[in-house]
Chains A and B, each alone.
Chain A
Amino acid sequence: MVGLINAVPPENLEDFKNVFVFIELRNGELSRPGLEMIGAGLNIARKANEKLVGIIIGDNLEKLADEAGSYGCDIVLGAEGKDLKEFRTMPYSHIIGEFINEFKPNILLIPATRNGRDLASRVAVKSKAGVTADCTELDIDLNGRILLAKRPTYGESTLAEILCRRHRPQMATARPGIFKIPEKEEGRTFQKDIRKMQIPEEMMGKEIIEFIPKKSLDLTAAKIVVSGGLGLSKPQGFAVLESLANEIGGVVGASRPTVDLGWIERDHQVGQTGQSVRPDLYIAAGISGKIQHIMGMKLSKNIISINTDPNAEINQYSDYIINDDLYKAVPALTEEIRRRKEAKK
């Protein structure tokens, strides 16, 4: 704990070097969002001619460290211990805080997952550093080695560029699904520094008494999302969308009122209070296009709207519009795709 103290900047910024990334583990593996941090960090490190240092915390890290090295870390820094197997705020933030004290990173990136965000602002306060939240663009200004961090705010309408000129490390959390995972290169040379850690009992903090895994639908990983709204007019309507989704290789999404009515599970909801998706193709059937829904899908690469109302707001956001009854258009689309597949066989 830092106590009630202000963010005093360090005296000599030159002491702070290299790009550090926290590679979050999930189920004892390097997680996708963690690997994406390697991608985000590599761009910056190469440009600035600095080292990329990957931090991993957990148990049995040797093999994971090798894997992190093959993805592009120049140094893999590990904290290993039986008690560190699961993410817990107190020990994890303590360890990263200690690494910062010892290695003085210029930049530290953490995935903006729930545990990543839980961790990041505590580490920032410990280190008297600033942290830019949930970034979608990261770059470096070589003049002063300043991290240029951009993040969408005000419900995805505005891109804010945020800097920390005088504080170190310059921290950011980066949104999952944005940065590319680098190519793996077996046999790359890198350094490994794995430390066995014994964390005192009183520093462990909360006890995890149960973990209930969920097979929840991750809409964000899908390349195609077929979503339905109140225009379906009945719960069975989702079956029609499901057929299209199966045929076209997508997953089913939903507007909030259909979820509230119990027509479909909440993990299908797209929007401000649901999931944010940016698939290659988003099909909105019987969805009017209210702002809270738009917020969750407007970054989709292509959007098809199927709506009986020629003036539905969703049309302004659409690349393709079918102004007709979804109960005619969706089956016709499904049928057409099925026919093409048959023809190809």
Chain B
Amino acid sequence: MVLEIVVMIKQVPDSQEVVIDPVTFTLNRSAARNVINPADENAIEAALRIKDKVGAHITVITMGPPFAESALIDCMSRGVDDAVLVSDRAFAGADTYPTGLTLAACIKKLGKYDIIFAGEESTDSSTGHVGPGVAEFLGTDQASYTSESWYDNGFVYAKRELEDGTEVVKMKPPTLITVLTNANDPRRATLRMKIDATKKGIKTMTLADLGMPPEWVGLKGSPTVVKSMKAIDEKKREGKKFKLEEIPKLVDELIEKKIISI
């Protein structure tokens, strides 16, 4: 039986294009283009490598607005087989609980799954909670923060990069893996594949397809509320200038202010 892999991706504002407002110090997100969350690109590549090696059928899913379709087509142009956009007004404002619930419900709807891939975290709200949340909803095991993963003889293996070392784990499928940013070098789409992917198109699922009541999802289904958002008070930096020959003066000041001790 063919290995079934699901990759979860999120669209985020491109951090390279994000402009910092010099007055409020907030990111001007509206100016930025939407891109696939960087870690999710690595998650797709991790899935494709398993497909290259042992064969697999890969489905990519995202919960997001209709314009997320382009990101899904991009994934298909790299070798992903199918794509599902989970989209409904009711999903808006979801915190990580209903986001996980909605994605888990979509994955269940797809049928059989052996490995689920996610990014370690998003670059915008960066909780890193969605992957493990999905695993809990589905009751699967998980390996987070992985730099490498492979499938061999009925088992899934992964290398977890921890603060104090690397842990190599062996798991029975189904399981969920979150992939580190820069874990691998994601392949690019080819024009030929892009044409095929566009022709094939994506599938969509709405709340009705998932069969959940509207108060379970989106803002209504979220335990957390964002009470306020404030630009982080940047310490005003003086930018005191010192010439080469004034370095002794600089050192005096560093010592005096107890910034360094001799």
B141 located at the interface, meaning its Cβ lies under 8 Å from any Cβ of chain A in the complex: yes
Closest residue on chain A to residue B175 by CB atoms: A206
A7 located at the interface, meaning its Cβ lies under 8 Å from any Cβ of chain B in the complex: yes
**B252 CB, nearest partner CB in chain A, Å:** 9
B98–A6 touching, CB < 8 Å: yes
Which of A4, A161, A164, A291 has the most chain B CB atoms inside 10 A of its CB?
A4
B133–A161 touching, CB < 8 Å: no
Provide the bound-state CA to CA distance between A318 and B104, in Å.
46
Provide the bound-state CA to CA distance between A4 and B161, in Å.
30
The size class of the interface chain B forms with chain A is 35 or more
B169 located at the interface, meaning its Cβ lies under 8 Å from any Cβ of chain A in the complex: yes
Q: Which of A40-48, A190-198, A323-331 contacts B (4 or more CB under 8 A)?
A: A323-331
**B151 CB, nearest partner CB in chain A, Å:** 14
Q: Which of A15-23, A63-71, A129-137 contacts B (4 or more CB under 8 A)?
A: A129-137
Provide the bound-state CA to CA distance between A159 and B229, in Å.
6
Q: What are the residues of chain B within 8 A of A189 when measuring CB–CB? A: none
Q: What are the residues of chain B within 8 A of A165 when measuring CB–CB? A: 225
**B61 CB, nearest partner CB in chain A, Å:** 15
Q: Which of A75-83, A101-109, A209-217 contacts B (4 or more CB under 8 A)?
A: A209-217
**B171 CB, nearest partner CB in chain A, Å:** 4
Provide the bound-state CA to CA distance between A205 and B227, in Å.
37
Provide the bound-state CA to CA distance between A3 and B215, in Å.
17
B15–A337 touching, CB < 8 Å: no
**A148 CB, nearest partner CB in chain B, Å:** 8
Q: What are the residues of chain A within 8 A of B232 when measuring CB–CB? A: 152, 156-159
A318–B239 touching, CB < 8 Å: yes
A contact face: mostly helix, strand, loop, or mixed = mixed
A60 located at the interface, meaning its Cβ lies under 8 Å from any Cβ of chain B in the complex: no
B15–A160 touching, CB < 8 Å: no
- Type the 1/0 row for A5-49, where 1 means its CB is closer than 8 Å to any CB of B: 111010000000000000000110000000000000000000000
A199 located at the interface, meaning its Cβ lies under 8 Å from any Cβ of chain B in the complex: no
A7–B127 touching, CB < 8 Å: no
Q: What are the residues of chain B within 8 A of A120 when measuring CB–CB? A: 129, 132
A209–B169 touching, CB < 8 Å: yes
Provide the bound-state CA to CA distance between A224 and B254, in Å.
12
B27–A161 touching, CB < 8 Å: no
Closest residue on chain A to residue B228 by CB atoms: A161
B251–A131 touching, CB < 8 Å: no
Q: What are the residues of chain B within 8 A of A125 when measuring CB–CB? A: 97, 100, 133, 136-137
B182 located at the interface, meaning its Cβ lies under 8 Å from any Cβ of chain A in the complex: yes
B27–A157 touching, CB < 8 Å: yes
Sample (8) of A-B pairs whose CB atoms are under 8 Å apart: A1-B137, A26-B164, A121-B130, A133-B129, A165-B225, A206-B141, A291-B15, A324-B243
User: Which B residues contact A (CB, under 8 angstroms)?
Assistant: 15, 18, 20, 25-27, 29, 95-98, 100-101, 104-105, 108, 123-130, 132-133, 135-139, 141-145, 157, 160-171, 175, 181-182, 212-213, 215-217, 221-232, 234, 237-244, 247-248, 250-251, 253-255, 257, 259-260, 262
Q: A161-B226, A281-B259 are in contact. List 19 more A-B contacts (CB 8 A).
A: A2-B136, A6-B216, A7-B222, A9-B223, A89-B144, A117-B144, A124-B97, A128-B223, A133-B96, A134-B126, A157-B232, A158-B230, A161-B228, A162-B227, A164-B223, A208-B168, A209-B170, A302-B259, A341-B262
User: Which A residues contact B (CB, under 8 angstroms)?
Assistant: 1-7, 9, 26-27, 89-90, 93, 113-115, 117-122, 124-126, 128-134, 152-167, 205-214, 216, 218, 224, 248-249, 272-273, 280-281, 291-292, 298, 301-304, 315-324, 328-329, 332-333, 336-337, 340-341, 344
